[in-house]
Amino acid sequence: MTVEGVRDTRARPEIEPVPVIRRLRADDLERVIAIDAKTTGRRREEFFRLKVGQALADTGIEMSLAADRDGICIGFLLARVYYGEFGTLEKVAVLDTIGVHPDFKGRGVGAALHDQLRTNLLALGIPRLQTEVGWDNLDLIAFFHREGFRPAPRFCLDLDLVRTRRP
């Protein structure tokens, strides 16, 4: 580009290629655990063995997804569908967890995963996606806000069973 005969030599950021979004596979397990560990600072192997095992056992439309760049899993999400929960008859999907390798955060990987999940859920006629996030996880709250999530019209309650045990 020239302005009055002067060439613009400023570096331009490369356009990020959109990751390939696909169904989560058994061989993604170790990468999922590693991505989560890099993000959270702890390895949750048993949790992910159980959740990925459940996701792989599900048939039909793909709920749990992976994002690939150059054949390497760089992000994932685990979701499931309920046909009536907590006294409602409405079909609802729940996003259990989402993770993006720190080297790829802010590059549209999470949004691409979420977009594909939205497409899959709408194809099933499921109008709502729910999730939970720690009140102090501001980055994840900001991501969910950008994706259109809003606070739910319900309370989420916890009970410390040890502290509240009756004698």
115: β partners: none
Contact 130, 93 (CB under 8 A): yes
pLDDT tens-digit series, residues 95-130: 999 999 999 999 999 999 999 999 999 998 999 999
Pick the closest to residue 111 from 23, 38, 18, 37 (CA basis).
18
Contact 131, 137 (CB under 8 A): no
Q: Go through the domains of the chain in sequence order and give each one's CATH number.
A: 17-146 (3.40.630.30)
Pairing label, strands 129-130, 91-100: parallel
pLDDT tens-digit series, residues 131-164: 999 989 999 999 999 999 999 888 778 899 999 9
